[in-house]
A and B are shown apart, each in its own frame.
Chain A
Amino acid sequence: MNGNNILAISSIVIKELYRRKDFYVLFILTVLITVLAGSANFFNDPRIVGWLKELSLTLIWLSSLVIAINTAARQIPAERESRTIFPLLAKPVTRADVMAGKFLGCWLACGIALLVFYLFFGIVVSAKGGRLFTGDLVLAVWLHWMLLGMVIALSLWGSLLFTSVAANVTICFVIVVGLLFIGFHLGKVARQQPEPFQTIVMIVYNILPQFGFFDTRQMLIHGSHLKIVPVLLATLYAWAYTAFFLTGGWLAFRRRALN
């Protein structure tokens, strides 16, 4: 793989994100809903902020997943449809470079979007007089970004397996949301099953990526503190799955006919 090629491809992806309207629409919607909700009066107490944090974080998570999955899912199909993939690969650029460049571009673009969203979140919480520890916020944003790395890699792989972008987006969204909601609880479900289902579900539970490790919304809302060591371990966990999904995508891309 060539680092310069990867950086060149990724810079194009970043430019594409800020030229498209997705991010702006989702950000403005998040701002509007949060500001409107923030103006609500509950028992004449202006310092109530927990529910606003919850609403704002939910919107940020939803927006970031939509941006990540949508951006990643259409990268390679768009190149194929517009046939720009041929001149791209005619240059000294390997398929691995394309895959890595697309991933890096989407990941960095999502990171920039996350910074804007969380900056707004910080401003809203501070304006309402709520508690928000900077260290915890930084770690939470970092974990969120790590999760988006896995999601983008999964979505890129999916774009090479499914025939349409819409199918890939829908399936990725269902997988990600499903894992966020039930990932941690599969073990509890498995322990109540008879054999051999118990073993099968336990294997699935241990193999599936636990996206819940990266969802620290409740910690931010309730002012609990994140510890650095678990965050570092979760980062390694995320990188391992990201590498696995990217390898899977690269293998699929290598065998795939371009026309």
Chain B
Amino acid sequence: MVLLLVWCFGVGSRLWTEQIAGERISARPSVLKSLLGDSRRLFANHFFIKADEYFHAGYYPSIFDQAATDKKGAASAATTGAVTGDSHAGEVEWMNKPHDWIERFSRNFFPSDHVHLDTMDDDHGHDDHEHDHDHGHSHGHSHGHGHATDGHDGASGGSMVREILPWLRISAELDPNRVETYLTGSYWLRKRMNRTAEAKEFIRDGLRANPRSYELTFELARIYHEHHEDTGRARNLFNLALRYWNDSQRLAEEPDNFMLAQILVQLATLERIQGNPDRALELYQELRKVSPFPESIDRLISDTREGKPPTALR
């Protein structure tokens, strides 16, 4: 009986270790994963924040200041810029009036002017922050219910933005499942630096690590739509993004309606361009349910029914 138990234990242990070994071989962990384990996600987050710090040209709260800014609902400017097109939208001013002589004097030895790299260029330093702030907001707000629009057109200025890219690449290497990193990198690459090929490659890297990500598929679709003007492929990718959204978010407790709205509005526009008003109307009806501005969707619906051409959404 004892021998039988020992034999059972031995066989069980062997099968279990073989299964673990098999999983390890199939997963093929990278050197970083082997070395750092799950702690690499912490480092990835650190480097992602580093990118935001660079975006602010070093004007960034320390961990001691971050607690206060988090309470005020601050968000990463580089990410906010990538999602809403207005990099100042989630910002909270963290540097208040100095409390003592050390605080006052110390401001001479670290960057204490609030600037963004997208308002700087190699030779001419930076523009006035307030000017950029107004410009970004007025442009962003004119586009209705928060669709991804850029505060600046094209790739004008902002050549210094490239300085955030290494940190985003390192962050993505450390945590390939962090979709936000790819989206932020792609936005700055294609919108501000006109480097569409690199943006597409970065998004493809993200899709290899996150094959069913609706955000990354949506971003790839936008690249095909806005930069390659390949409406057929873009429409297929928007449809795929919608399918992935349905698969992962439809039954979620708090579905990502912001992204759904973006997918629907882009897809409906393409359907109108391609002469499918019925499908566009279906999509607008869906959009109406999640949009915070249903009256503007009603306008789009009536425009579609009247056969008016769609306005470009970029």
Contact = CB atoms under 8 A, between A and B. Distances in A.
Interface of A: 40, 42-45, 47-51, 131, 143, 184-185, 187-189, 191, 205-206, 210, 212-216, 218-219, 221-224, 226-227, 230, 233-234
27 contacts: A42-B165, A42-B166, A43-B162, A43-B202, A44-B198, A45-B165, A45-B195, A47-B162, A48-B165, A48-B166, A51-B163, A187-B102, A188-B64, A212-B106, A212-B110, A213-B105, A213-B109, A214-B109, A216-B110, A219-B58, A219-B110, A223-B57, A224-B111, A226-B109, A230-B105, A230-B108, A234-B105
A206 B102 contact: yes
SS class, residues of chain A in contact with chain B: helix
Given A43-B162, A213-B106, A222-B57, 11 more contacts: A42-B169, A43-B169, A43-B195, A44-B195, A45-B195, A49-B163, A50-B166, A188-B64, A210-B106, A218-B110, A219-B110
Given A43-B202, A212-B106, A230-B109, A191 B162 contact: no
A94 B266 CA distance: 83
Nearest to B101: A206
Interface residues of B, number: 29
A187 to B, nearest CB: 6
A49 B113 CA distance: 21
Contacts of B166: 40, 42, 48, 50-51
Nearest to B169: A42
Interface string B123-159: 0010000000000000000000000000000000000
A48 B106 contact: no
B111 A222 contact: yes
Q: Which of A48, A218, A219 has the most CB of B within 10 A?
A: A218
Closest 8 A-B residue pairs measured CB to CB? A230-B108, A50-B163, A222-B58, A185-B64, A51-B166, A218-B58, A43-B198, A222-B57
Given A43-B195, A189-B64, A224-B58, A131 B122 contact: yes
A191 B167 CA distance: 34
A79 B249 CA distance: 73
A45 B54 CA distance: 17
Given A43-B189, A188-B64, A219 B122 contact: no
A207 B268 CA distance: 66
Contacts of A184: 62, 102-103, 106
A222 B164 CA distance: 12
Contacts of B99: 187, 191
B113 A224 contact: yes
